[in-house]
Each structure stands twice: as C-alpha cells, then as structure tokens.
Amino acid sequence: MMSAEEFEAMTADAPRPEWRGPEWRVSDGLVDYPTALAEMERRVADIREGTAPEQVWLLEHPPLYTAGTSAKGEDLLDAGGLPVFETGRGGQYTYHGPGQRIGYVMLDLKPRGSDLRRFVHDLEAWLIATLAQFNIRGERRDGRVGIWVVASDGTENKIAALGIRVRRWVSFHGVALNVEPNLARFGGIIPCGIRQHGVTSLADQGILASMPEVDAALKVGFAEVFRAQGSI
C-alpha cells in the first residue's frame, strides 16, 4: 500500500482542476432599481431550479435611497427628491448612485453548508481584499456592518456597505463600494443607522481608479477569498 508521504510526493506536481467561479455580468450605464430587483428575483429562482448558473452582477444605479428591513423612519432626513425604495435586504438606509460599484451576489449557499454567518464574513473579506489592491486598509468593526477606513486623525468612515437576502438558501442583493460617488447624497440619511461616523470613497482617499480597474480588483479579490475558503 502506498504511504501518505509517497502519495503526496507523486501528486504534488499534478495539474489541479481549474477553479470555476460564478458567472460575471457587468452592466454599462445606470440600471434602475426596480429592473435590477426583478432580474435578481428571476436569477435566484433559476439558480434554485438549476436552470441558470450562479452570478455576480456589477452595476451602477441612478441616484436613489433604499431602506432595508431594519430601517427607521427617522433616519431618512431629507430625500431631496430622490426615490426611496423599500427592499427585503438586511440593514437600514443607504444611498446608491453613479460612482458607486454595486455587486449583486447570487450564490447557492446550500452546497457551502448553509452558513450565513460565514457568507457575510466572506463578503467582508472580499471587500477588504479588493481595497488592499489599491493600498487601502479596510477593516471590520463589531456592531457596525460594512468596511471602514481609519483616517490619520483616528476618525472612521465607511467605504463599503453590504446587505443581503437569502431565499431558499440562494443569496441576492450584496455589496456597494464607494469609488467616486457624490458623498453629499449620504447627508440625506443616517447611513445604516450610524450617526457618529461618516462615509468615504476611493477618490476621497486619493485613489482615482476607473470602474474597469475596480471591477478587475473585485474579480481578483473574489477569487482570493472564495477559492481559498473552498466556498465555490
């Protein structure tokens, strides 16, 4: 019988199967929120039925606010004429608009152990890995959802948000990374219900990155995290 050491030596240089991640979709232009929601709903149903592959959809929305399942009315300060959409994702109020990269993540979590906590942790790790490619240190904070950047004066500002929904163990909604949005729009709400901290972006941090550059970093970061975790 071959020993474990002999088997390891024999297979060390053997070609490994190619990693197969989800389908990536990138939308040019702005996608209105009801259209995006309807398309996510259809894809989630198809993934559940086994008739469509998993997908990560990268897009931008026109200026709007969304209210998660934990949103409080008093946190909507002044919509300023922008539409406000109630949505089934977790979380509170947030702003979406041009210059913010949305990543809608539609994955079947059942083969991955139906572990929602781990999935959220991996989404956070994905954002952190993406930011690291631009030499920005993103950090988690207990009790504060999202990814945070610490300024030189010690203040902390949110650079990326996440809010998900799961239906029959297929995820949808996802993450939002501030590339170069109009940060003043966040003044119409208490973002994610957190009053004592602000928001920032790649541009606000001095990083002028194009959306294709951000997309490339997101794809690399996704593979690093989910392939390393064996999540896909």
- Cα–Cα distance, 77 to 62 (Å, whole number): 19
Structure tokens at 160: 């990326």
- Find the largest Cα–Cα distance for the chain: 74
Structure tokens at 174: 């996802």
Query: Which residue of the set 131, 177, 183, 192 is catalytic?
Result: 192
Cβ partners under 8 Å of residue 85, min gap 6 = 33, 34, 37, 64, 65, 66, 67
- Cα–Cα distance, 69 to 164 (Å, whole number): 10
Is 57 catalytic? The answer is: no
Contact 158, 202 (CB under 8 A): no
Within 13 Å of residue 154, how many CA atoms lie on the same side as its CB? 0
Structure tokens at 84: 């406000």
Structure tokens at 179: 């590339």
Structure tokens at 190: 């208490």
Active-site positions read: 192
